[in-house]
């Protein structure tokens, strides 16, 4: 997708409409305020392809309803997906506000005493609230002088937080979630809820039977030249790291069967990508319908069990698709859910759109208490592990970015693809082994990715759940990945499946409620799966959720970092309870 097709941020400079002295004295100051915000965004925010975010500024300052309407018309033509109104002065509230109910909106009212924009901010927010248009209010803590071009740090933080969430909302709208297959092993998250996707996210649901993969393999509906390139790369980078076959002797596949599995999973990876994104090469081959894909911004593969009982599993495909590279080089990750758990897939999508980084899909599998670790391994946990850890381990696949072999400021990281270099790709590949799948789980063969994530990465785990009577709710837990001594990990690793990828996660605890301790986080987690993003993005997730009217059921974010629309304050004094009431009152964005 070219950057000019991405949604843009609309900047609305709002001005006192009284002419013959007042408006004229404020024109330059107001327009410069808008330009400074646009500069902040273009220098700090990026689209999924790595290009700077584009802003559109109204042609004139907006002093009344006619100029507001002119601005709205321009924004429609320019594909504006969210708006920020800025003003250094008093203006006419309900005459100048953004009335589009379908896009996120914010107002920055300049904290100054000459012609206080804060007065307009309060009046305009009241108008939005009265009209049922949730709007984020931004008001700097310290008084500035009129004309001061600086954007204070606290204002920058809120401007960026709003824009990240607003862009995520706009980027999802009109896209699809592609379900390859149906329900995996009775997992509720893989019962794809088309109403949720449509009403809350503005997304379509597309369905493809798993047999479509087999059809395209057998009828060779894939780019054969790319396949030769992909298979050569796989032999050089992955087959060389094929792990030991731990299957019982009577189940082991012979070398010929294993080699055919490698060929098949490479083709399957290409086909899954083509199903999501399309591929013009297929059109040249005479497959015009297949060439278009399903316009999917995220997808998932059922796999278990109907497919994996007789065909190679999706572990290699899921791992490579979710990584920031493949045989074609470094590129943006595809968001692709194991077991077609669309709720975890969308949770991954939230993290990806907020950070532009690859996302870890994992089972929230085991809480290891310090006593249990010591009893099983003989090692007494210390440091970050003194309260134990949550073992995150997916059944055979994980983004290779999750190895932590990228580096930022000399520390393990997961970065946007445009910041990754080829040496880091080699390190990720070297750290990953591909084990012949456990045939008691995956009777059809295939290869599972295996690594242990580096400790010391700040991460945020989140998860969407759907609760009858409430609708979607979001859980958030910020924390850090931790390392284990080799002998400790090896002992723990053997107690589940030693061919699968592992991440050990310690959430930041608060001593109360859902975050009383590490055990409580595991105990209150609402599903068997979680989506893990690099960085502490819990506050960004909370802002995004409020834009979508999705309440947050648990989080460990400091109160002063929580940023929701101003009207949430009218729903009660306690932030989290008010969140539930506000989301219920406003309802889904696209209903």
Annotated binding-site residue numbers:
339, 363, 529
- Chain-centroid distance, C-alpha 368: 27
C-beta neighbour count of 286 within 10 angstroms? 9
The answer to whether the CB of 418 falls within 8 A of the CB of 50 is: yes
DSSP 394-437: -SS---GGGG--EEETTEEE---GGG--HHHHHHHHHT-EEEEP
The answer to whether the CB of 333 falls within 8 A of the CB of 359 is: yes
What is the DSSP code (8-state) at residue 14? B
Q: Which helix (H) or strand (E) holds 338?
A: strand 336-338
Residues in the chain: 591
Nearest residue to 436 via CA among 449, 424, 423: 449
Instruction: Pick the catalytic residue from 363, 401, 424, 454.
Output: 363
Nearest residue to 589 via CA among 194, 205, 201: 201
Question: Which segments are annotated as binding site for Mn(2+)?
Answer: 339, 363, 529
Q: CA torsion, points 538, 544, 545, 548, in degrees to nearest 10? A: -170
How many angstroms separate the CA atoms of 279 and 268, rounded? 14
How many angstroms separate the CA atoms of 306 and 315, rounded? 15
73 is catalytic: no
Q: Which residues of 254-265 are buried (b: 16+ CB within 10 A; e: fewer)?
A: eeeebeebbebb
How many angstroms separate the CA atoms of 327 and 225, rounded? 12
Q: Which long-range contacts (CB under 8 A, 24 or more apart) does 154-160 make?
A: 155/108, 156/40, 158/106, 158/563, 159/37, 159/40, 159/41, 159/84, 159/106, 159/108, 160/40, 160/41, 160/44, 160/45
339 is catalytic: yes
Instruction: Pick the catalytic residue from 16, 206, 290, 339.
Output: 339
Nearest residue to 87 via CA among 76, 95, 77, 79: 95
The answer to whether the CB of 333 falls within 8 A of the CB of 399 is: yes
C-beta neighbour count of 343 within 10 angstroms? 26
Residue 506's DSSP bridge partners are 480
C-beta neighbour count of 250 within 10 angstroms? 6
User: Active-site residue numbers?
Assistant: 339, 363
């Amino acid at each position: 997708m070219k950057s000019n097709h991405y949604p843009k941020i609309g900047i609305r400079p709002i001005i006192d409409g009284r002419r013959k002295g007042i408006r004229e004295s404020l024109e330059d100051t107001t327009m410069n305020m808008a330009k400074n915000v646009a500069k902040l965004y273009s220098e700090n925010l990026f689209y999924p392809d790595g290009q700077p975010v584009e802003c559109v500024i109204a042609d004139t300052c907006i002093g009344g309803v006619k100029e507001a309407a002119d601005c709205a018309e321009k924004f429609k033509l320019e594909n504006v997906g969210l708006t920020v109104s800025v003003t250094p002065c008093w203006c006419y509230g309900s005459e100048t506000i953004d009335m589009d109910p379908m896009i996120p909106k914010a107002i920055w009212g300049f904290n100054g005493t000459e012609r206080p924009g804060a007065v307009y901010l309060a009046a305009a927010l009241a108008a939005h609230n009265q009209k049922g248009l949730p709007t984020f209010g931004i008001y700097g803590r310290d008084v500035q002088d009129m004309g001061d071009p600086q954007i204070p740090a606290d204002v920058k933080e809120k401007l960026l937080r709003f824009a990240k969430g607003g862009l995520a909302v706009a980027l999802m709208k009109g896209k699809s979630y592609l379900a390859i297959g149906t329900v995996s092993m009775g997992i509720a998250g893989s019962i794809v809820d088309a109403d949720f996707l449509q009403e809350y996210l503005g997304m379509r649901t597309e369905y493809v039977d798993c047999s479509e993969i087999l059809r395209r393999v057998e009828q060779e509906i894939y780019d054969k030249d790319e396949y030769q390139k992909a298979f050569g790369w796989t032999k050089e980078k992955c087959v060389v790291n094929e792990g030991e076959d731990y299957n019982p002797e009577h189940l082991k596949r012979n070398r010929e069967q294993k080699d055919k599995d490698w060929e098949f999973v490479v083709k399957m990876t290409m086909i899954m990508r083509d199903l999501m994104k399309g591929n013009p090469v297929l059109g040249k081959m005479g497959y015009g319908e297949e060439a278009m894909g399903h316009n999917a911004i995220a997808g998932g593969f059922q796999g278990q069990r109907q497919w994996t009982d007789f065909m190679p599993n999706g572990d290699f495909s899921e791992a490579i698709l979710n990584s920031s590279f493949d045989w074609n080089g470094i590129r943006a990750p595809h968001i692709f859910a194991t077991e077609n758990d669309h709720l975890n897939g969308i949770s991954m999508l939230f993290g990806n759109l907020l950070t532009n980084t690859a996302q870890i899909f994992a089972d929230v599998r085991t809480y290891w208490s310090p006593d249990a670790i010591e009893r099983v391994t003989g090692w007494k946990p210390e440091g970050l592990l003194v309260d134990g850890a949550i073992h995150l381990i997916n059944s055979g696949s994980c983004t290779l970015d999750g190895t932590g072999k990228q580096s930022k400021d000399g520390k393990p990281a997961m970065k946007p693809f445009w910041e990754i270099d080829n040496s880091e790709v080699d390190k990720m590949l070297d750290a990953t082994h591909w084990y012949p799948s456990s045939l008691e789980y995956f009777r059809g063969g295939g290869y599972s990715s295996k690594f242990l994530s580096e400790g010391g990465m700040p991460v945020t785990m989140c998860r969407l759940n759907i609760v009858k009577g409430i609708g979607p709710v979001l859980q958030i837990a910020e924390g850090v990945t931790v390392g284990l001594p080799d002998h400790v990990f090896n002992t723990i690793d053997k107690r589940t499946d030693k061919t699968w990828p592992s991440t050990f996660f310690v959430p930041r605890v608060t001593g109360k409620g859902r975050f009383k301790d590490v055990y409580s986080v595991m105990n209150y987690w609402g599903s068997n799966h979680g989506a893990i993003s690099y960085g502490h993005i819990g506050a960004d997730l909370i802002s995004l959720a409020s834009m979508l009217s999705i309440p947050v059921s648990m989080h460990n974010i400091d109160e002063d970092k929580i940023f929701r629309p101003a009207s949430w304050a009218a729903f009660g004094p306690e932030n989290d309870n008010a969140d539930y009431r506000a989301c219920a009152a406003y309802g889904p964005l696209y209903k």
